[in-house]
Structure 1
Amino acid sequence: MASTPETHYPVLQKDLKVDIAIIGGGITGILCAYLLGDKGLNIAVFEADHILQGTTGHTTAKITSQHGLIYSKIKNQISEELARQYADANESAIRMYEKIANELNIQCDLVPQSAYIYTLQDQYINKIQDEATIADSLGIKATYLEELPLPFSVKAAVRFDDQAQFHPLKFLLPLAKEITNRGNQLFERTKIVDIEDKSNYVLMTDQGKKVTAEKIIIASHYPFYNKPGLYFTRIYPERSYVVAIKAKENYPSGMYITAEEPGRSIRSQDSDDGQLIFVGGEHHKTGQAEDTIKHYQALVDFANETFTVERIPYRWSTQDCMTLDGIPYVGHYTSDTPNMYIATGYGKWGMTNSMTSAMLLRDLITDGKSPWQDVYNPSRQTILASIKNFVVENLNVADKLIEGKTSPLPKDTNIQPGEGKVIEANGQRAGVYRDNQGTLHIVDTTCTHMGCEANWNSAEKSWDCPCHGSRFTYEGDVIEGPALRPLDIHHDVNTIEKLLKDDF
């Protein structure tokens, strides 16, 4: 985001009628609009903020079909046929990026790279061997290795050839212009807050405008629309972290990730400031980390152990939607909503899965079928492992809901500039942040999605919901959903301000 210009697409100012409404202006929404744009359809994309500024603008941008040890998992737990569909879909996505970039002459730092998954533990050697064998049998150029061009030894690794990396915003911003050049529309700062299912769908914006659409695609990352589908019971959000370092050493080619925990991901990126190395990992469920700053520190420690770090010009974090079985939900929103579609749950592998989603949804909308529809089917039959995960994840949500309502609140009301805390105010929970000028910002921490209590994120200075991952600024504004409304201002602000000013 630091190396690309801001966008200024219009706010929707009047009611609108379109063939297809796409909710969400991230990578999936833009790719869907682009691929459908030459089909003679009237399309509009609606983004609550500015396009491409969410997870898309915070990715490490590996265009790879290597998604952990996914192929052995799908083959062994579901079927070889669905593993083959998944492999074909993601390999096809890589080729589609190359095709579009070449056709439109987009300069987006698209560089061929090999992708590696490696282990430092004996217990993963056989798993990596299996992954290499299965991936190769599915048509991926996969090779088992015991050495890597990294400054430390590994126990085992698998290399996927013919993969790539790129700068996603440099790729997608020209596509956004191409969408409007074709006569379709992009709207920013236009939040869709409700959907009415009539003869056509009627989408309501936060400014009271109506969008009538024959078909809709929900590409809002976490689905904000819960009826039907109940997606909040089938996905959960995880945050992960990146530090971008300048190192004394030249980076070896390739993109690397560990098979085991703690997860570590490495790749390079050329910039105006020279070569950067992205060091990523340290995932946890959103809103469920006591100290988010320590995750950045763990990555810095790993970077210092691996490279001679000279500077750390950037750091960031983002969150991804995780599904119960590790495979995204892409297709019809439910089995009985033929004109409503969804794409979510990429599990941190959004570059190929977003392109796959766009191609799959294009084919469903225009042809009624896709060669990959079964493996991505949001209504697929849940396997035994997924049933277990369903119980575990929803018990976790229930636990966090109860914990937020019943746990004793801290008595310490000493809040320094730049610090946020949850405190007790007349027996009630209050979220307080003191900015660097000493001004207090006081909110009711009850999430406006489903009533869980948000926790303070010290690294990003935000209030994060531990149940479904909604995030809010320290003033209570929505950063990302599924929440649609800001946090309320605490009803006892005057008393809290007096209490805290006296202590300060």
Structure 2
Amino acid sequence: MEEAPERDESLPGRAESYWMATSPETGFPPLDGDGRVDVTVIGGGIAGITTAFLLKKARLTVALIDAYRIVTGATGHTTAKVTVLHRLIYADLIDRFGGRLARQYAAANRAGVETVASLVREYDIPCSFERKPAYTYAESEEEREKVMAEVDAARHLGLPAAFTEDVPLPGESHGAVVLEGQAQFHPRNYLLLLAGHLPGEGSYVFEMTRAVGIEERADGVAVKTDRGTLHSGHAVLATHYPIYDRPGAYYARMQPSRSYALGVRIDEPFPNGIFINASDPVHSWRSQPAADGDLVIVTGAAHGTGQVTDTRAHYRDLEAYARSVYPVRSVDYHWSAQDYITADRVPYIGRLAGGHDRIYVATGFCKWGMAAGTAAGMILTDLIRGRENPWAEVFDPSRFREQPEFPDRVQKKIEAAGGAIEVDAAGFDREVAAIPPGEGKVVEVGGQRVAVFRDDRGGVRPLDPTCMHMGCTVAWNNAEKSWDCPCHGSRYAADGRVIESPTVRNLRRKEVVRR
């Protein structure tokens, strides 16, 4: 992530995540020339920072790099629940993988929760860490049966889950699976302190440093950036969708999904717990201690990235839902987040698929990245050190033995992007005039598609809508003022600059020749 896009200030509340608004900015330097470390970690979210931190504790030298500032991507916009209870997943995992591998998933996430708790204690991190019971609640009798089955599955895997009729949220419910001893925290305050321990003794944090390519060799890995090359024995891709995906192991195995959050004030105490409903549409609840009383965070309204035209409506729908449940006094914050959903709901953690020995990946957290991202750091640290890890098998990125072919046509389409297009002046002007100031739209002129952003002064910025990752066509996101790719989640600012990987190249300009 390079730079936050402009946000729509007409929406309710401050257009910023609560975590970003209430934590200090970082100022780590960019890479300046070439360097060498034991491990290069690409991506400054919870998986990347935890991996780098644990590797340094194991006496390896590490370079953590981020294209923008650390903890400003998905981790900076999370709900920040630290829990093993991931809606209704355990019955499904047992069906898919069997009890042994499902038990690995549960144990890894449980270890992730306890590792966060241990690090908070050891380093006395002021991050509002608080133990809470986690609930997945049913909203119908049909869902009640699924919730009860989840209790049985979780208990079979060694988790102390229980069924309860008492769901302390307003409104009708039909029972819940509850797991005591889960947690919530302030993710940026937690991770910024861990990251502060990285520089020194041959280790580094480099911000504003974009990885643009990786070359794997027999004796190591060269990570090429826009500011130099880092040479290391191993590299870790913790960038959500991997920026390096050859021969295309992941492009058909994950789907990007955006969801929305509001930070609201309500006129009554919020119950003790972290909550999520059992079926779609998803709604999640938790509270956060704040200087002027608890802030209640409600999330939901998820959809595939780039697949919705009016993203502002999702914020408004979420606000209407929140007001239907609680007497909302004010909406103080609104923000959105992006994560990746894997084909089988299990993250990819381990060696990059496709026969790579020195490149590792941690991605596809399916919106449960706080515990799983921490577990990823533990798994990758073991693998890089040549040690066995008791949970690695279930997360193995190579578990899909048949890999999809990487489409050769992609490179040709990307190479053809940009250039000039001759248009009928009157027809083009009509298309542009229909776009309100401050908005964008993909229009078709002269037989070609053009991504047009019209700024507040009426100026026009024509771009080729071809995503520079794998050639899909971007769509306008009117809430975040960005161009979003529906295929793999790359995002661009209104002027075409990269703001979220896996792309590493800006959209190309389109020269419009009027006739």
> Would you say same fold, with TM above 0.5?
yes
Q: Which residue of 1 aligns with 2:445?
A: 425
Q: Which residue of 2 aligns with 1:72?
A: 91
Q: Which residue of 2 aligns with 1:112?
A: 131
Q: Which residue of 1 aligns with 2:462?
A: 442
Deviates more, 1:361-370 or 1:280-289: 361-370
**Superimposed CA distance per residue, residues 223-270 of structure 1 (whole angstroms, 9 cap, x where no aligned partner):** 010114521121111111111111111111111111111110011112
**Superimposed CA distance per residue, residues 447-468 of structure 1 (whole angstroms, 9 cap, x where no aligned partner):** 1111111111111110011111
Task: Determine which structure has the larger helix proportion and give its number.
Answer: 1
Whole-angstrom CA distance in 2 between matches of 1:60 and 1:129: 25
How far residue 495 of structure 1 moved from its aligned partner, in angstroms, is 4.1
Q: Which residue of 2 aligns with 1:143?
A: 162
Identity of aligned residues (%): 41
How far residue 381 of structure 1 moved from its aligned partner, in angstroms, is 4.4
Q: Which of these residues, 476, 481, 496, is aligned with residue 456 of structure 1? A: 476
How far residue 156 of structure 1 moved from its aligned partner, in angstroms, is 2.3
**Superimposed CA distance per residue, residues 129-166 of structure 1 (whole angstroms, 9 cap, x where no aligned partner):** 01111212222221101231111120121101110000
In the alignment, structure 1 residue 241 sits paired with structure 2 residue 260? yes
Whole-angstrom CA distance in 2 between matches of 1:490 and 1:354: 40
Deviates more, 1:439-448 or 1:94-103: 439-448
**Which letter maps to 1:417?**
P
Q: Tell me if structure 2 keeps the 8 A contact 1:25–1:51.
A: yes
How far residue 428 of structure 1 moved from its aligned partner, in angstroms, is 2.4
RMSD: 2.2
Q: Which residue of 2 aligns with 1:485?
A: 505
**Superimposed CA distance per residue, residues 330-374 of structure 1 (whole angstroms, 9 cap, x where no aligned partner):** 011136322211100000000001001000111112243100011
**Which letter maps to 1:464?**
D
In the alignment, structure 1 residue 355 sits paired with structure 2 residue 374? yes
Where 2:440 maps in the other structure, the secondary structure is: strand
Where 1:379 maps in the other structure, the secondary structure is: helix
Deviates more, 1:321-330 or 1:429-438: 429-438
**Superimposed CA distance per residue, residues 13-43 of structure 1 (whole angstroms, 9 cap, x where no aligned partner):** 1111111111111111110111111222111
**Superimposed CA distance per residue, residues 396-439 of structure 1 (whole angstroms, 9 cap, x where no aligned partner):** x9xxx9xxxxxxx9957322222222223333222222233433
Where 1:251 maps in the other structure, the secondary structure is: coil
Q: Which of these residues, 253, 266, 277, is aligned with residue 258 of structure 1? A: 277
In the alignment, structure 1 residue 289 sits paired with structure 2 residue 308? yes
Q: Which residue of 1 aligns with 2:346?
A: 327
Q: Which residue of 2 aligns with 1:500?
A: none
**Which letter maps to 2:85?**
Q
Q: Which of these residues, 143, 146, 150, is aligned with residue 127 of structure 1? A: 146
**Which letter maps to 1:243?**
L
In the alignment, structure 1 residue 158 sits paired with structure 2 residue 177? yes
The 5-angstrom pairing of residues 159-238 of structure 1 reads: 159-181=178-200, 183-198=202-217, 199-207=219-227, 209-228=228-247, 230-238=249-257
Deviates more, 1:480-489 or 1:136-145: 136-145
Deviates more, 1:267-276 or 1:314-323: 267-276
Q: Tell me if structure 2 keeps the 8 A contact 1:37–1:182.
A: no
Q: Which residue of 2 aligns with 1:414?
A: 434
Q: Tell me if structure 1 keeps the 8 A contact 2:341–2:366.
A: yes
Q: Tell me if structure 2 keeps the 8 A contact 1:201–1:213.
A: yes
In the alignment, structure 1 residue 304 sits paired with structure 2 residue 323? yes
Distance 1:303 1:101, change over 3 A: same
- TM-score (normalizing by structure 1): 0.90
**Superimposed CA distance per residue, residues 78-102 of structure 1 (whole angstroms, 9 cap, x where no aligned partner):** 1101111111111111111111011
Whole-angstrom CA distance in 2 between matches of 1:322 and 1:273: 36
Whole-angstrom CA distance in 1 between matches of 2:400 and 2:216: 26
In the alignment, structure 1 residue 84 sits paired with structure 2 residue 87? no
Where 1:85 maps in the other structure, the secondary structure is: helix
Whole-angstrom CA distance in 2 between matches of 1:480 and 1:460: 12
- Report how many aligned residue pairs link the two structures: 475
Q: Which residue of 2 aligns with 1:344?
A: 363
Distance 1:274 1:435, change over 3 A: farther
Whole-angstrom CA distance in 1 between matches of 2:263 and 2:274: 14
Q: Which residue of 1 aligns with 2:64?
A: 45
In the alignment, structure 1 residue 95 sits paired with structure 2 residue 102? no
Q: Tell me if structure 2 keeps the 8 A contact 1:118–1:257.
A: yes
Distance 1:3 1:370, change over 3 A: same
Whole-angstrom CA distance in 1 between matches of 2:382 and 2:221: 21
How far residue 74 of structure 1 moved from its aligned partner, in angstroms, is 0.8
- TM-score (normalizing by structure 2): 0.88
Q: Which residue of 1 aligns with 2:487?
A: 467
Where 2:372 maps in the other structure, the secondary structure is: helix
Deviates more, 1:330-339 or 1:213-222: 330-339
Q: Does 1 or 2 have the higher relative contact order (CA < 8 Å, sep 6+)? A: 2
Q: Which residue of 1 aligns with 2:7?
A: none
Whole-angstrom CA distance in 2 between matches of 1:335 and 1:485: 24
Q: Tell me if structure 2 keeps the 8 A contact 1:142–1:159.
A: yes
Whole-angstrom CA distance in 2 between matches of 1:143 and 1:82: 22
* Unaligned residue ranges in structure 1 (runs of 5+): 402-408, 497-504
Where 2:307 maps in the other structure, the secondary structure is: coil
Whole-angstrom CA distance in 2 between matches of 1:186 and 1:141: 39
Where 1:231 maps in the other structure, the secondary structure is: coil
Whole-angstrom CA distance in 2 between matches of 1:204 and 1:382: 29
Whole-angstrom CA distance in 2 between matches of 1:468 and 1:147: 40
* Unaligned residue ranges in structure 2 (runs of 5+): 1-19, 415-427
**Which letter maps to 1:212?**
H
Q: Tell me if structure 2 keeps the 8 A contact 1:413–1:423.
A: no
Whole-angstrom CA distance in 1 between matches of 2:471 and 2:108: 38
Q: Which residue of 2 aligns with 1:2?
A: 21
